[in-house]
Amino acid sequence: MHHLGATRSSLKTDHLLHTPDTFVRTPLPGAAGVEFIVHAAPQMGARFTQMTAEFAAGGSLGVTPAQRFVYVIEGELELRTGGKKHVLDPGGFAYLPEAAPHTVHAVSASRAAVIEKSYEPQPGVAAPEVVVGDEAAVSAVPLMGDEALRVRALMPDGPPYDFAVNTMTYDPGASLSMIEIHVMEHGLLMLEGGGIYRLGNSWYPVKAGDFIWMAPYCPQWFGALGKRPAKYLIYKDWRRHPLGA
């Protein structure tokens, strides 16, 4: 159905709202039994890629020239790296530094968020290490003291790591306490619930399944609506000088 050409998706110079009715799937080199929805890429101004990978049972990812972060939304993935095998269930995640040998196979039909970014090394700073975790085991921190808005940091925060991935959970009615305008860009996947996202000078109804890209300095604000919490997975570049020095 074309719904007379209407969609909530919206592409502007400083943001993209990408809703499921506009998703187009593509294969990528080296992957087998996986379809990718490429939400954010350098082709639209982002300095990272974010995809949803839809695996058939037995499907596998190919190699990447960049760092890779994988967060399981549905199903079960098997990660092999450094001679170890890890099974990732929903909420399970992994970070693989650039050039870290690894394989990712789907044990059953699965869906995962895959974020990739070229590494920006820092002189005198140790190399980043593989991280494997489960969101349920990460403690929630109230954002600026607001117990109704809880942040879970999935990546370690230290000089070797040049991006962050968090989940943010809003009780119904909770909102960001300020309109943020910052140098970091964001990739955001709505995981649960919904609300209103302000992006630039536009206000959008958003819900689970939607993706948002925010360019550096895109004014942003979110308020959760409905009777259940709203939750999203959010990427940002982190801890690097804007001049690349």
Footprint of ligand UGY on this chain (CB under 6 A)? Answer: 168, 176, 180, 186, 220, 234, 236
For β-strands 15-18 and 211-214, DSSP reports them as antiparallel
Window of 56-64, 108-116, 148-156, 176-184 that interacts with Mn ion by CB under 5 A:
176-184
Name the minimum Å distance from CB 39 to Mn ion: 17
Tell the residue number behind the tokens 């690097």, with chain if given: 240
As a whole number of Å, the CA-based R_g of the chain is: 18
Q: How far apart are CA 204 and CA 197, in angstroms?
A: 5
The footprint of Mn ion on this chain (CB under 5 A) covers a number of residues equal to: 1
Name the minimum Å distance from CB 120 to ligand UGY: 19
Question: CB-wise, 116 or 185, nearer to ligand UGY?
Answer: 185
112 binds, among ligand UGY, Mn ion, none (CB under 5 to 8 A by kind): none
Tell the residue number behind the tokens 């799937």, with chain if given: 25
Q: What is the torsion angle, in degrees rounded to the nearest 10, for the CA atoms of residue 189, residue 151, residue 222 and residue 110?
A: 20
Name the minimum Å distance from CB 176 to Mn ion: 8
Residue nearest to ligand UGY (CB): 220
169 binds, among Mn ion, ligand UGY, none (CB under 5 to 8 A by kind): none
Name the minimum Å distance from CB 126 to Mn ion: 27
Tell the residue number behind the tokens 């942040």, with chain if given: 151
Cα dist from 16 to 13, 70, 225, whole Å? 8, 21, 21
Q: Residue type for 12, please? A: K
Name the minimum Å distance from CB 188 to ligand UGY: 7
- Are the beta carbons of 186 and 153 closer than 8 angstroms? no
- Are the beta carbons of 102 and 50 closer than 8 angstroms? no
Among 134, 180, 200, 223, indicate the residue that binds Mn ion (CB under 5 A).
180
Question: CB-wise, 36 or 69, nearer to Mn ion?
Answer: 69
Residues within the interface to Mn ion (CB under 5 A)? 180
